Amino acid sequence: MAEPISLVDALSTTRAIRRYTDAPIPDADLNQIMWLATRAPSGSNRQGFRFVVLRDGPNAARARELISEGAKRAWGNKRVKDQYDSGSGKRVDSPKARMARTMDHFVEHMHEAPVIVLACVKIHRPQMLGVGGSVWPAVQNLLLAARALGYGGVITGFHGPREPELRELLHLPPPESVAIAATIPLGRPQGNHGPVRRRPMAELVYEDTWESPAPWASDPPGTRFTQAGPPRG
């Protein structure tokens, strides 16, 4: 690591990282990543977030298999549903085809990531969007903290297809009391972080009324845009 990354740079250049080197994440780094994740805000500061970290413990091998199966099934379904193999997806050099190849590689290998984190949350009220406010900020902190120490990861929902088996294996409380929000592989990136692509600000930030673009809002010169992006889970 060269000098510490500034907050502003980190917020604008923390990418989804889907390829990792074989480098492990040392205990001290993992500790700092998880500690910073848990500094996030949560509803009434109840800290309902709970992280189950998979490395090489007794359950990890089987959990990694289940997540791998979930990944392949989730991506297989998405590939069909989002028509990755039709339209521009048929052209081998199209963004769609490239993303499909990235995802093929990702679901084949993500279970081998040095660390996989299940981000869970205690369900303290029936409104699940609100419950999410007690875990997703911590997930974002986790990804930014990983970035700060030279790692990267990506939010996935790959626990989904094999969630009952994972819950049983890892002794999670029942779904009505604890939810799994995300499955996040972490490792040293192959490739680099860098500017992310988003829609133009006028589509995302309104002033005073819905869909009324804020007059003071503009993307900095050189910003690159996207209308549709990579699947993440």
Nearer to a copy of itself, 92 or 171 (CB): 171
CA separation for the pair 75, 72 (Å, rounded): 5
CA separation for the pair 140, 38 (Å, rounded): 10
Least distance from C-beta 231 to a copy of itself, angstroms?
Answer: 5
Cα 216 from chain centroid?
A: 30
CA separation for the pair 135, 49 (Å, rounded): 5
Nearer to a copy of itself, 92 or 129 (CB): 129
Least distance from C-beta 201 to a copy of itself, angstroms?
Answer: 6
C-alpha torsion sign, points 117, 189, 191, 220? positive
Q: State how far the alpha carbon of 46 is from the alpha carbons of 40, 123, 128, 135, 141, in Å.
A: 11, 11, 15, 11, 17
Nearest partner of 47 among 38, 56, 55, 58, judged by Cα: 38
Least distance from C-beta 118 to a copy of itself, angstroms?
Answer: 9
Least distance from C-beta 100 to a copy of itself, angstroms?
Answer: 13
CA separation for the pair 31, 204 (Å, rounded): 35
Contacts of 203 (CB under 8 A, 6+ apart): 213
Least distance from C-beta 216 to a copy of itself, angstroms?
Answer: 4
| DSSP-derived pairing of the beta strands 115-122 and 178-187 | antiparallel
Least distance from C-beta 190 to a copy of itself, angstroms?
Answer: 19
